[in-house]
Structure 1
Amino acid sequence: MQQNNGLDKNQLISFMLFSLIMLGAMFYFQNKQAKEEQRKNAQNPKTEQVNSAAKPSVAANLNTNVTPSSIQTVNLANEELKLEFSSLGGQLSKVELNKYKAYDQKTDKADLPLYLINKNNSSYGFLFKDRTGKVINTKDLVFTPSVNGNTATLTSNINGATVQFIYTLMPKYTVDFKVRTQGLSQLVTDGKANFVWDYQVKNLEKGRAQEQTHSEFSYAFDNYGSYDYDGRTTLDETGETLNWLGVKQQFFSSVIEAKNGFTQSTGSQEPIAEGEYLKKFSYNGQVQMAGNELNQDFTWYFLPLDLPLLKSYDKNFDEILPLGWSFIGTLNRWFFIPVYNFIASFGMTAGWAIFWLTILVKLILSPIMFKQHKLSAMMRVIRPEIDEVNEKYKDADPMKRQQATMEVYRKAGVNQMAGCLPALLQIPIFYALFRFFPNFIDLRGKSFWFAKDLTAYDDVIKLPFSIPFLGDHLSIFAIACTAVILIYTMLTAGNMQQPTAPGMPNMKVLMYIFPITFLFFLNTSASGLSWYYFVSNAINIVIILVIKYWILDEDKIHAQIQANKAQPKKEGKFQKRMREMMEQAQAQQQAQEQARKQAAKKK
């Protein structure tokens, strides 16, 4: 993080604002366990309604004699997916992404097959009410499977009606899913069908807390034009027609699209504290029936969250990738991702691509950085005059002291607000990178030095105990980043003017506390982010030393300030506004004081 030499009051305010934002982000993303407990202890009534809707109290288990040995399976496969279908419920019982591997906690390597669906973690079906009011759930039906080329057809009969699920494996991680019924109108009268999906997402990445945070509902509506997500609360979109619904994880997503949309959509989610699953999702939505027959087309997508791939569908899938809102997302989509890809195209490793990305960012910001450090030098030069003003007005009205200080700045030609710009620029850059590193699939599984995966933390130093907010390990990249920020703080805080008013906090102490909070924040974050900020702050140290000893001559700056003082100054709009505000405040204060004195005399 970049700070100024001789920070003025406005710069200190911007720094404190930035620090508060960082601390807020740390507690938001690190303190998940406390939030989970709070949600469990005070469950929303809507959640209970959703859960009861997703699990009907009256269900017709039409195949009570089904045994595991009687369940048949059939398979389809291409270069991207391996699929297994079960005769029980006619469902997808296994989905493997061939080109990716899942993280194995036992070996600390990404060497396991990557399953989005496996071991009954996903269960879906359609619910109908028959004429007696009982619920027919296709999850309970036994289907007869058959395979023809890349199409699997599963057929079931119930009381004279036929239900058929037709799955066709397509390119680009796509499975066409058609539902056809015949004779169902003889059993069903209300013309409604509910699609119910219960899904426990598997732990696929190294950082469990980080992946759990990124696991959420996602969905599109308004004819694919609008997108929304829900990561913590109940899903309640009863007033919208959803074009598709997805359950997103850190790098992958399972999505079902309804050609005629889902209506009356509700859902719930519940974090899972430990084990191979992260969260339990439940969804319930209605689909259209015509003449009490369900003949609808759906599509399943089992997607790696690769931005070019997501864009290629033209269904607003690219919004699933959480690159940040508004300007933050634009910065990632149009700068960081393209620039990283360009640098990586030269064949260098991911870690060195991040290194050169950091260099490029620093070069782009270098004119602003130079002005910032020049302002710092100017602040150092006029420090004796500021000290004189503070000494002269130490017993006077603080408003007068502030006016006299601003007059010194004005005569010297120092723009106090100029130092705020670099700090403000760092906020969108930080949040863009905070979204970029843990969500950019091209970095997934890429190692660099002692970090085995730049999208997860490095944990070479393992602790025999767990420290709150820090975890059971120490990240070397996080420690290195904290160290360079601390060194940079020591270089920039030495000339900081301390507050003279009683009760004001010591800003030097706060600035030294800031790097320590950064350690807690980065220790469980993506190591790529820590590496970027290590390089960035190391460059900051080099820049400040070069500018201080080889570029800026404080004697020349002093001469320039004296020349500025000799020239008549035109008061700027901001300075005029500030002066008028202070004068008005001072006049109000004097009037109030005079009124108090008159009231005291009357008594």
Structure 2
Amino acid sequence: MQQNNGLDKNQLISFMLFSALMLGAMFYFQSREEAKAPAPVEQTASTQGAAPTMGPQASNSGASPVKVAKLENNELRLEFSSLGGQISRVELPGYKAYNQAQDEANLPLYLIDNGSASYGFEFKDRAGRLIRTKDLNFQPTVQGNTLTMTTQVQGATIQFIYTLLDKYTVDFKVRTSGLGQVSSSSAADFKWDYKVRAVEKGRSQEQTHSEFSYAFDNYSSYDYDGRTGMDETEETLNWIGVKQQFFSSIIESKTGFVGSKGNQEIVEEGEYLKTLNYSGQVAMSANELNQDFSWYFLPLDLKLLKSFDKNFDEILPLGWSFIGTMNRWFFMPLYNWISSWGITAGWAIFLLTIIVKLILSPIMFKQHKLSAMMRVIRPEIDEVNEKYKDADAMKRQQATMEVYRKAGVNQMAGCLPALLQIPIFYALFRFFPNFIDLRGESFWFAKDLTAYDDLIKLPFHIPFLGEHLSVFAIACTAAILIYTMLTAGNIQQPTAPGMPNMKVLMYIFPITFLFFLNTSASGLSWYYFVSNAINIVIILVIKYLILDEKKIHAQIQANKAQPKKEGKFQKRMREMMEQAQKQQALQQEQLKKTQGKKK
């Protein structure tokens, strides 16, 4: 099962550099039918019982007049066009879209508007001519929360019946009569063209999260496609959707779509982010197109998505395997529990960070104790390096490991906390920009914790940074630099010629992190600022109040005096080094013999 990688180009480059540096440092030491009415009308209905209203609507470039019908409830406000009998506007009144001009989320949130999406069915008549429902004019009739669109084509009747339901759902039935006399097709093509409207603050982040998503194998399997082309001709899709960062438009077929293909293109600027085009087929029985569908225009709220039992919850890119499980069963419930206390989102993240730190505190304490012990034996390590500076690297490493063994220092114990931080980082990287409960939540100078803060605006563009500097990202970078300064003394510098200075690499890492965080969710930067600030406090407390380096030195000396049982890992490493030394000696001996024969 795949998941959206969630990275834009700049973040991807920064993240690759960040991962390479982190892993390197750790182990070195992501047609038209005329209308019957003479004048255009507008029809409106509400599921709450409002009476239909009529009004004029502009004609379609001098052609048959276009009528607009409306259905509305507390969750959706929909408009339907008589041209094509299709949904022409979708508004979610419970949410607002970002207004770039005012730097506020105060605009109506339209998933579809001004012709940004169109759909319809296509089939051929018996003369081989293509009939497209997008081109036909329908007559709308509203009754309660149901809208019926009716049209005639070559004597056949086509009806689109829409019923607005709860939970952001629109029941969509297609009924035909007499179509078998017009068409000989056994299947109809369904075409859906969709332009993703920009409704969030971070354009590149929202653009990256916009893609096809779909389920198959009777709703049990899910996949997505953020690439240029989509080809699922071998599968029967239960539903196909266009996913955005926090919302999705989905159409479900009760019999399934076959022969599915699609393509998408990035739009570099303007009100649209991407254009997506989908084509699939639905069956026609006895040459009639009688099919049941459902439209869903959903906020990507995990609880809501799971309530449908159609694998919609997989649309939310929380991460694969263990990463997604950590978000679903730990970070989301923990945040919801904290926020139920009535505190703001920023302080909820602050408390969440502290709780995570408390859970990891036993392991972190061992790591900091190990750092103190390594600082104490640093002079002995330097002495070994000096003693074996002219020897081969393997002998020098073997002697160094012997010092650690006698002192009772397990170097691998320091890797465990770092390894634990990797899945936590990935989980949080998915959590903050995709958790809809944080959408629009402000904290200090960050107006939306799911997007970057841009308090510092730049008059020019900096590659990989953009035209702003995130204050939270800068604060986080500064905290990581201070933490690095406090721990860099424990880094062993390779003595072999040409090897990079590990301490320099450790200082480069925080700078790389700035490029990565500057366009990321400000909630993520705030979390890691708090996390690293706590790390700094812990180091200072342990160094000056808890651990006595003189006592540690005395303990190490006592460890040396006692016979030391060799651990399995140390034994394996020693045996590998001894075997490598034997192999090296054998190769040198064979080389000498070969050279002697040549002479």
Task: Indicate whether the TM-score tops 0.5.
Answer: yes
1:288 to 283, 307, 315: 283
Distance in 2, matches of 1:238 and 1:329, equals 29
Aligned to 1:487: 482
Equivalent AA in structure 1 for residue 286 of structure 2: G
2:240 to 237, 245, 270: 245
Distance in 1, matches of 2:123 and 2:99, equals 41
CA contact 2:230–2:263 (8 Å) conserved in 1 = yes
1:67 lines up with 2:61 in the alignment: yes
CA contact 1:63–1:140 (8 Å) conserved in 2 = no
Equivalent AA in structure 1 for residue 435 of structure 2: F
Aligned to 1:529: 524
Task: State which drifts further: 83-92 or 550-559.
Answer: 550-559
Aligned to 1:470: 465
Aligned to 1:312: 307
Equivalent AA in structure 2 for residue 282 of structure 1: N
Aligned to 1:423: 418
Equivalent AA in structure 1 for residue 261 of structure 2: T
For residue 453 of structure 1, give the secondary structure of its aligned residue in structure 2.
coil
Aligned to 1:413: 408
Distance in 2, matches of 1:26 and 1:205, equals 15
CA apart distance, 1:497: 2.7
CA contact 2:374–2:490 (8 Å) conserved in 1 = no
Equivalent AA in structure 2 for residue 517 of structure 1: T
Q: 1:264 to 1:203 in 2, by over 3 A?
A: same
2:230 to 217, 227, 235: 235
Distance in 2, matches of 1:259 and 1:123, equals 20
CA apart distance, 1:570: 1.9
Task: State which drifts further: 280-289 or 228-237.
Answer: 228-237
CA contact 2:174–2:290 (8 Å) conserved in 1 = yes
Distance in 1, matches of 2:391 and 2:470, equals 51
4+ residue runs of structure 1 moved beyond 3 angstroms? 24-32, 60-69
1:29 lines up with 2:11 in the alignment: yes
Structure 2: runs of 5 or more not aligned: 1-5, 15-30, 36-58
CA contact 1:486–1:515 (8 Å) conserved in 2 = yes
1:302 to 289, 294, 297: 297
Distance in 2, matches of 1:393 and 1:291, equals 88
1:78 lines up with 2:73 in the alignment: yes
Aligned to 1:222: 217
1:398 to 393, 396, 404: 393
2:354 to 356, 359, 375: 359
Structure 1: runs of 5 or more not aligned: 1-23, 33-59
Q: 1:25 to 1:297 in 2, by over 3 A?
A: closer
1:457 lines up with 2:444 in the alignment: no
CA apart distance, 1:234: 1.3
Distance in 1, matches of 2:306 and 2:67, equals 37
Distance in 2, matches of 1:394 and 1:320, equals 57
CA contact 1:30–1:469 (8 Å) conserved in 2 = no
Equivalent AA in structure 2 for residue 552 of structure 1: L
Aligned to 1:109: 104
Residues 45-64 of structure 1 show CA distances to partners (whole Å, capped at 9, x for unaligned) of xxxxxxxxxxxxxxx67779
1:186 to 167, 181, 188: 181
Distance in 2, matches of 1:222 and 1:277, equals 32
For residue 396 of structure 1, give the secondary structure of its aligned residue in structure 2.
coil
CA contact 1:29–1:213 (8 Å) conserved in 2 = no
Aligned to 2:255: 260
CA apart distance, 1:233: 3.3
Equivalent AA in structure 1 for residue 120 of structure 2: G
Residues 2-43 of structure 1 show CA distances to partners (whole Å, capped at 9, x for unaligned) of xxxxxxxxxxxxxxxxxxxxxx968563569xxxxxxxxxxx
CA apart distance, 1:528: 0.6
Distance in 1, matches of 2:7 and 2:401, equals 35
Distance in 1, matches of 2:9 and 2:276, equals 25
1:556 lines up with 2:581 in the alignment: no
Residues 89-148 of structure 1 show CA distances to partners (whole Å, capped at 9, x for unaligned) of 000011100100000111111111000111000010001011122211100110000100
CA contact 2:32–2:137 (8 Å) conserved in 1 = no
1:87 to 82, 99, 102: 82
Aligned to 1:42: none
For residue 123 of structure 2, give the secondary structure of its aligned residue in structure 1.
strand
Residues 317-369 of structure 1 show CA distances to partners (whole Å, capped at 9, x for unaligned) of 11111111111100100010000000000000000000000000111111111
Distance in 1, matches of 2:490 and 2:358, equals 26
CA contact 2:8–2:208 (8 Å) conserved in 1 = no
CA apart distance, 1:495: 4.1
Equivalent AA in structure 2 for residue 465 of structure 1: F
CA apart distance, 1:601: 1.2
For residue 591 of structure 1, give the secondary structure of its aligned residue in structure 2.
helix
Equivalent AA in structure 1 for residue 524 of structure 2: L
1:139 to 122, 125, 134: 134
For residue 486 of structure 1, give the secondary structure of its aligned residue in structure 2.
helix
Aligned to 1:11: none
Distance in 1, matches of 2:488 and 2:13, equals 31
1:565 lines up with 2:560 in the alignment: yes
Aligned to 2:376: 381
Distance in 1, matches of 2:140 and 2:516, equals 51
Residues 417-476 of structure 1 show CA distances to partners (whole Å, capped at 9, x for unaligned) of 101111111111111111010111111111100111111111111111111100001111
Aligned to 1:338: 333
CA contact 1:246–1:255 (8 Å) conserved in 2 = yes
Aligned length: 553
1:130 to 105, 120, 125: 125
Aligned to 2:44: none
Q: Provide the identity percentage.
A: 77
Equivalent AA in structure 1 for residue 537 of structure 2: V
CA contact 2:120–2:133 (8 Å) conserved in 1 = yes
Q: 1:505 to 1:62 in 2, by over 3 A?
A: farther
Aligned to 1:582: 577
Aligned to 1:51: none
2:155 to 142, 156, 160: 160
Distance in 1, matches of 2:293 and 2:517, equals 42
CA contact 2:97–2:199 (8 Å) conserved in 1 = yes
Distance in 1, matches of 2:430 and 2:296, equals 24
Task: State which drifts further: 393-402 or 210-219.
Answer: 393-402
Task: State which drifts further: 404-413 or 370-379.
Answer: 404-413
Distance in 1, matches of 2:578 and 2:12, equals 46
CA RMSD of aligned residues (A): 1.6
Aligned to 1:497: 492
CA contact 1:268–1:283 (8 Å) conserved in 2 = yes
Alignment of 1:507-526 (within 5 A): 507-526=502-521
TM-score (norm 1): 0.90
CA apart distance, 1:555: 1.3
For residue 335 of structure 1, give the secondary structure of its aligned residue in structure 2.
helix
For residue 298 of structure 1, give the secondary structure of its aligned residue in structure 2.
strand
For residue 536 of structure 1, give the secondary structure of its aligned residue in structure 2.
helix
CA contact 1:26–1:521 (8 Å) conserved in 2 = no
Distance in 1, matches of 2:468 and 2:376, equals 45
Distance in 2, matches of 1:142 and 1:397, equals 85
Aligned to 2:439: 444
Distance in 1, matches of 2:70 and 2:9, equals 45
Higher relative contact order (CA 8 A, sep 6+): 1
CA apart distance, 1:393: 1.1
For residue 496 of structure 2, give the secondary structure of its aligned residue in structure 1.
coil
Equivalent AA in structure 2 for residue 595 of structure 1: Q
Residues 512-553 of structure 1 show CA distances to partners (whole Å, capped at 9, x for unaligned) of 111111111111111111111111111111000000000111
CA contact 1:265–1:284 (8 Å) conserved in 2 = yes
Aligned to 1:196: 191
Equivalent AA in structure 2 for residue 587 of structure 1: K
